[in-house]
């Protein structure tokens, strides 16, 4: 019997569920058994607010250390939790097809977020969501919360909170069943974090060629191009993955559209762009960006997508976004 492939994963129910989906797909492709290797990250043990510790990549650092130490063969991350810098010796081998990238509001009675009563308590630990709630429901009180999906739902069920904001993809992957009501928030007016709804499959640059080839079959090109643009905007802003900003890109036919907003957490000020770029033979033409990134035959589509995202970030900075986002910490 062949040696199983070891998949390093956090111990949370959501991490185990999304890792299980990837493991099943890889078993079908490779014909080998995939074994989950639970790893405890700082984000699982440090109960401080994500707004205080999130920029450090707390959900990824310990897993990456385990991968580099040979304790597992590859990792599955929630892409929105990953810092934009990939450590030396590692690379993202695949981005499977993206799930629903929207946020959802969970309430007991289905009251829309904008119609919640004055003083209603809305739970979220994300600076981006906090800023968005304050714009959509300014009479509400935002409560900074941590915890898994079930514990957050329970706080609404018991009446401790009137609503929580969660990622639609996480609810879908967990298959959470609840009598609570949900309101889907449209991406046009409520864009989400770079990479939300996407997974990153990461391994070492010197991984066995058969493993790399099998992981590559999990990759979805449209998802990779979209998240590359989104994460390049985050990189260009020099902001952490818990920054009060949103970016969502969609590939449709021969074009890509990205909506991005940087929020001021202390006021209603925000800076946004809605940009559509042409695609040419699967990669982006960066019109007039000044980076000489126009696509040519044989060019790397991911490099072109990154240049596009960086050009969008520069435009945001030119409009004053640097005053609104904290710098990334290493």
Is residue 294 among the annotated active site residues?
A: no
Using only the alpha carbons of the chain, give its radius of gyration.
Answer: 20
CA 88 – CA 85 distance, rounded (Å): 9
Q: What is the CATH number of the domain that holds 52?
A: 3.40.190.10
CA 258 – CA 20 distance, rounded (Å): 30
**DSSP H helical ranges for the chain:** 13-30, 42-45, 50-53, 61-68, 127-136, 149-157, 168-174, 209-216, 221-236, 301-318
The reported pLDDT for the residue numbered 304 is 85
Note whether residue 14 is domain-resident: yes
pLDDT per residue rounded down to tens, the chain (330 residues): 579 999 999 988 889 999 999 999 999 999 999 999 999 865 555 444 544 544 446 678 999 999 999 999 999 999 998 888 889 999 999 999 999 999 999 999 999 999 999 999 999 999 999 999 999 999 999 999 988 898 999 999 999 999 999 999 999 988 877 889 999 999 999 999 999 999 999 999 999 999 999 999 999 999 999 999 999 999 999 876 677 999 999 998 878 999 999 999 888 899 999 999 887 644 454 443 334 434 344 467 888 889 999 999 999 999 999 888 766 543
Calculate the dihedral angle through the C-alpha atoms of 261, 265, 266, 272, rounding to the nearest 10 degrees: 0
Q: Are 99 and 223 in contact (CB under 8 A)?
A: no
Same domain, 156 and 269: no
Note whether residue 190 is domain-resident: no
Same domain, 46 and 108: no
Strand 255-263's sheet: what is its strand order? Answer: 245-252, 255-263, 270-280, 283-284
Q: How far is CA 170 from the centre of its chain?
A: 11
Q: How far is CA 50 from the centre of its chain?
A: 14
Note whether residue 192 is domain-resident: no
- Report in angstroms the alpha-carbon separations of 291 from 73, 84, 146, 255, 256: 37, 20, 41, 20, 19
Q: Are 204 and 68 in contact (CB under 8 A)?
A: yes
Cβ neighbors of 277 (< 8 A, separation 6 or more) are 255, 256, 257, 258, 284, 285, 286, 287, 308
Note whether residue 40 is domain-resident: yes
Q: Domain residues for 176?
A: 103-184
CA 285 – CA 294 distance, rounded (Å): 5
CA 84 – CA 241 distance, rounded (Å): 8
Instruction: State the pTM of this model.
Output: 0.86
Note whether residue 21 is domain-resident: yes
Same domain, 92 and 127: no
Note whether residue 91 is domain-resident: yes
Q: Are 93 and 241 in contact (CB under 8 A)?
A: no
Same domain, 174 and 215: no
Same domain, 66 and 209: yes
Same domain, 203 and 285: no
The reported pLDDT for the residue numbered 153 is 94
Q: Are 243 and 237 in contact (CB under 8 A)?
A: yes
Q: Are 271 and 318 in contact (CB under 8 A)?
A: no
Note whether residue 152 is domain-resident: yes
| Domain end call among 184, 211, 230 | 184
Note whether residue 112 is domain-resident: yes
Same domain, 315 and 226: yes
The reported pLDDT for the residue numbered 280 is 60
Same domain, 171 and 114: yes
Same domain, 73 and 214: yes
* Beta bridge partner(s), residue 327: 239
Catalytic residue among 81, 100, 103, 162: 81
Q: What is the CATH number of the domain that holds 233?
A: 3.30.160.40
CA 188 – CA 178 distance, rounded (Å): 27
């Amino acid at each position: 019997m062949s040696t199983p492939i070891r998949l390093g994963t956090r111990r949370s129910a959501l991490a185990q569920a999304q890792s299980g989906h990837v493991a099943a797909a890889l078993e079908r492709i490779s014909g080998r058994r995939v074994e989950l290797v639970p790893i405890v990250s700082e984000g699982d043990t440090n109960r401080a607010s994500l707004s205080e510790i999130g920029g450090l990549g707390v959900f990824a650092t310990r897993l990456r250390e385990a991968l580099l130490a040979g304790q597992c063969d590859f990792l599955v991350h929630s892409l929105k939790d990953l810092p934009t810098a990939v450590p030396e010796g590692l690379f993202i081998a695949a981005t499977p097809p993206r799930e629903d990238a929207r946020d959802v509001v969970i309430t007991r009675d289905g009251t829309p977020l904008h119609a919640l009563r004055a003083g209603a308590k809305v739970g979220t630990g994300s600076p981006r969501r906090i800023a968005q709630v304050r714009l959509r429901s300014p009479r509400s009180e935002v409560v900074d919360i941590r915890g898994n999906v079930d514990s957050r739902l329970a706080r609404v069920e018991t009446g401790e909170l009137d609503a929580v904001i969660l990622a639609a993809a996480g609810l879908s992957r967990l298959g959470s069943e609840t009598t609570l009501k949900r309101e889907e928030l449209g991406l046009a007016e409520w864009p989400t974090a770079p990479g939300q709804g996407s997974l990153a499959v990461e391994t070492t640059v010197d991984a066995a060629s058969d493993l790399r080839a099998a992981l590559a079959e999990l990759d979805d090109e449209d998802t990779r191009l979209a998240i590359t643009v989104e994460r390049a905007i985050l990189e260009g802003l020099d902001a952490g993955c818990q920054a009060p900003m949103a970016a969502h890109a969609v590939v449709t036919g021969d074009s890509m559209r990205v909506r991005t907003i940087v929020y001021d957490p202390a006021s209603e000020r925000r800076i946004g762009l809605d940009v559509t770029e042409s695609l040419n033979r699967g990669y982006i033409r960066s019109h007039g960006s000044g980076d000489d990134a126009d696509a040519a035959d044989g060019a790397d589509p991911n490099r072109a997508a990154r240049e596009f995202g960086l050009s969008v970030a520069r435009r945001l900075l030119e409009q004053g976004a640097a005053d609104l986002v904290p710098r990334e910490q290493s």
